[in-house]
């Protein structure tokens, strides 16, 4: 059993002695994250004056992976449909909520505070009343071990300590004298040890990771799929959290370094797959440049399930123009209809769905 949570120290003013090889590995991983983030700008041509949305794809896969660590799985097809607010399973809707929560990381980066962390939790858990969305827990919780805390794997601090510990964590996150990935790793482990919410701690804690990376300037295009890297070895990740609670931060820093390299490698492969798909689409689609069908192609990389109404609103075109675009994309083999009937029909870009599911499989998704 880890040390009792009530022995958890404040960390805002602590000095951490990190072995040189662990610190060097974290710095190398940070350089790789920054390099990959910069590569996204050159991955695809601009569409309608804006960067083609590969960063949004990575955001979605990161959100999905973040949920999968806690046993919530949803395939790319179900998630894409859930994003349309069409009929979908509970798991897909939960992962879709994670996308909104990860978007909150942008706000966290600008104003990192307990309140902004509460806002991210509210976005993540807004339809799950038992979790008290957007509120710190008001009772004792424990991790593992059955119906009582006496046999638990870990018992977090008493609720009375949580507000002060969260304020201390925010002060730690704002420090500028600690190498970034080392700081991110420790902050994440401290957050998970405080366990400030009734539920959704893991997902909110991983949102904090990306807020800190963005705040530090390491990432500018929202997110690199670090949670997907953590997913490749969840046993080691949870063991590293246990070591942190026993007073040794080195293993969690190593896990984040490893996860970062794994995530970047996997992310680069996803970018390559999607770039190839986009290039092939441009070749096989006979529509002229500037047509609605061609204008929707980059959007399909980040939203591979669409309806006529969705395309109409996204492109700001008439319904007949949107319907004509769908017909042309179906004829070219870019889209395939997956629902029947005349109303609320949904089409998917199967190649993108396959690329996203392959990404998740490489990440070690289970279920």
- Give dist(CA 275, CA 73) in Å, integer: 26
199 annotated ligand-binding residue: yes
201 annotated ligand-binding residue: yes
- Give dist(CA 76, CA 144) in Å, integer: 30
Q: How far is CA 310 from CA 50, 289, 316, in A?
A: 19, 21, 10
Dihedral, 291, 293, 298, 300 alpha carbons, nearest 10: 160
206 annotated ligand-binding residue: yes
- How many of the other CB atoms lie within 10 Å of CB of 141? 19
CB 62 within 8 A of CB 225: yes
Q: How far is CA 292 from CA 310, 311, 348, in A?
A: 13, 9, 17
204 annotated ligand-binding residue: yes
202 annotated ligand-binding residue: yes
Clarify whether 195 is annotated catalytic.
Answer: yes
Active-site option among 132, 188, 195, 210:
195
203 annotated ligand-binding residue: yes
Binding-site residue numbers are 199-206
Residues tagged active-site: 195
Which residue positions form the known binding site for ATP? 199-206
């Amino acid at each position: 059993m880890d040390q009792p949570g009530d022995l958890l120290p404040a960390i805002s003013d602590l000095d951490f002695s990190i072995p040189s090889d662990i610190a060097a590995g974290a710095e190398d991983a940070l350089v790789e994250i920054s390099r990959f983030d910069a590569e996204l700008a050159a991955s695809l041509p601009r569409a309608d004056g804006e960067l083609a949305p590969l960063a949004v794809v990575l955001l979605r896969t990161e959100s999905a992976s973040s949920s999968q660590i806690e046993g919530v799985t949803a395939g790319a097809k179900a998630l894409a449909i859930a994003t349309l607010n069409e009929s979908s399973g509970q798991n897909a809707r939960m992962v879709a909520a994670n996308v909104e929560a990860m978007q909150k990381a942008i706000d966290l980066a600008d104003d990192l505070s307990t309140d902004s962390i509460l806002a991210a939790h509210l976005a993540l858990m807004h339809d799950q009343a038992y979790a008290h969305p957007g509120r710190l827990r008001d009772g004792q919780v424990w991790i593992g071990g059955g119906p009582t805390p006496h046999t638990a794997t870990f018992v977090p601090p008493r609720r009375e300590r949580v507000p002060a510990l969260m304020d201390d964590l925010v002060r730690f996150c704002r420090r500028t004298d600690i190498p970034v990935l080392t700081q991110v790793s420790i902050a994440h482990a401290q957050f998970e040890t405080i366990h400030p919410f009734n539920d959704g701690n893991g997902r909110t804690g991983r949102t904090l990771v990306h807020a800190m990376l963005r705040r530090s300037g390491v990432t500018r295009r929202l997110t690199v799929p670090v949670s997907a890297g953590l997913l490749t070895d969840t046993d080691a990740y949870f063991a590293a959290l246990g070591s942190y609670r026993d007073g040794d931060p080195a293993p969690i820093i190593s896990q984040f370094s490893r996860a970062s390299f794994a995530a970047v490698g996997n992310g680069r492969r996803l970018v390559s797959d999607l770039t190839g798909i986009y290039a092939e689409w441009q070749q096989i689609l006979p529509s002229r440049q500037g047509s609605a069908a061609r204008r929707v192609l980059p959007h399909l990389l980040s939203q591979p399930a669409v309806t006529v109404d969705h395309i109409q609103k996204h492109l700001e075109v008439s319904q007949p123009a949107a319907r004509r675009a769908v017909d042309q994309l179906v004829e070219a083999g870019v889209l395939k209809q997956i629902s029947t009937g005349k109303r609320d029909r949904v089409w998917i870009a199967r190649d993108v769905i396959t690329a996203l599911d392959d990404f998740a499989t490489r990440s070690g998704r289970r279920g």
